[in-house]
A and B are shown apart, each in its own frame.
Chain A
Amino acid sequence: MIILTVEQTKQWMQEIQKRMEANKEQLTALDQAIGDGDHGINMARGFNEVVNKIDDTEYDSVADVLKSAAMTLTAKVGGASGPLYGTAFLKMSMALQDKEVNQQNFKEAIDAALAGIKMRGNAEFGEKTMYDVWYQVAEFLASENVEDWEEMIEACQATIEDTREMVATKGRASYLKERTLGHVDPGSMSSFYIFEALVAVIEVGN
């Protein structure tokens, strides 16, 4: 069964954009604590551009929408989030090329995105980065026959809280070492909004 259509994928991007805009200040505050303080602005700008782009374009496939988002994010976000999210959506797009999006294909696309983030950011699980949330989503899809997508959101929420107790070893935060303790990672937070937005549009189906 198809769980994500072209139209739903466009809505996914719109739902992400709404969340990035609504939480811009929160993301920036998180990034001011342990990074360079531009994550909220960068993500809001990036997804505003994505929505502008896809609103004006006709797409034949989910893969094409994701590719368009990937190229726009890479070009427009500015910080490390640009190439990282760009790579994630590009790998999803490549994995879904010439395929409809059922649960199995979607799982494989998330696995490809996860591998892409790992490669681009040289990241491992438990390093206080966005990778942790994507890893959690991949784990969830590997073990569950999804009947309720809300459970995935709950798993992601727990992962975000876990990042609070970690010392960052990647990205600009790594320069602060122990001073990153007690702060939620901004990249894991923005990734959470991406999956919260997904759950708002995706269907349940096997």
Chain B
Amino acid sequence: MMSDKVGLVIISHSPKIGDGVFELIKQVITGVPIAVAAGTDDNQIGTSMEKIIDAITQVDNGNGVLLMYDLGSAKMNAEMAIEFSESANVQLADHIPLVEGSYIAAVEANMGKSLQEIRNSLQKIELTEM
């Protein structure tokens, strides 16, 4: 049933933020593949390329994967994960705030929107500085 939907990865420096955003979405959306990649490998504050790659693999079912992130170095690790990942259609929601962006993306993915359609919707909340 989940196989026709875009996958989401929530990337944060903080495991608590990552889990919190996931929880917020799960209250209303259950049909979208979502994985959290938050904190370093030992769950300290930071991000981990390996965790992001694992999360991509977990939610990728051939419909594309969208990566949401919080601060600067999360973006760098996300970009490296995209380069090293075996999944084909993985994109970064660049300059999109994590909480609001993840929520919108989950709602749209649940409607069966394509990766490009979701990215277009997110444009309206794009930050000029991040």
- Please report A residues at the B interface, Cβ cutoff 8 Å: 36, 38, 42, 74-84, 86-87, 120-121, 170-172
Contact = CB atoms under 8 A, between A and B. Distances in A.
Contact of A83 (B41, B44, B71, B73): B73
B46 A83 contact: no
Contacts of A170: 72
Interface size class of B (residues with CB under 8 A): 10 to 19
A109 to B, nearest CB: 19
Contact of A75 (B41, B44, B76): B41
A79 B80 contact: no
A19 to B, nearest CB: 22
Nearest to B48: A75
Given A83-B77, A120-B79, A78 B46 contact: yes
A52 B40 CA distance: 19
B49 interface: yes
Interface string B47-80: 1111000000000000000000001110011011
Contact of A79 (B41, B46, B49, B50): B46
Interface of B: 40-41, 44-50, 71-73, 76-77, 79-80
Contact of B40 (A78, A83, A86, A172): A78
Contacts of A80: 72-73, 76
A82 B71 contact: no
Given A78-B44, A87-B80, 20 more contacts: A42-B46, A74-B80, A75-B49, A75-B50, A76-B41, A78-B45, A78-B47, A79-B73, A80-B73, A81-B73, A82-B73, A82-B76, A82-B77, A83-B49, A83-B73, A83-B77, A86-B80, A120-B79, A171-B72, A172-B72
Contacts of A81: 73
11 contacts: A42-B46, A74-B77, A76-B41, A78-B48, A79-B73, A82-B46, A82-B49, A82-B76, A84-B76, A87-B80, A172-B72
A2 to B, nearest CB: 31
A171 B73 CA distance: 8
A121 B48 CA distance: 17
Nearest to A75: B50
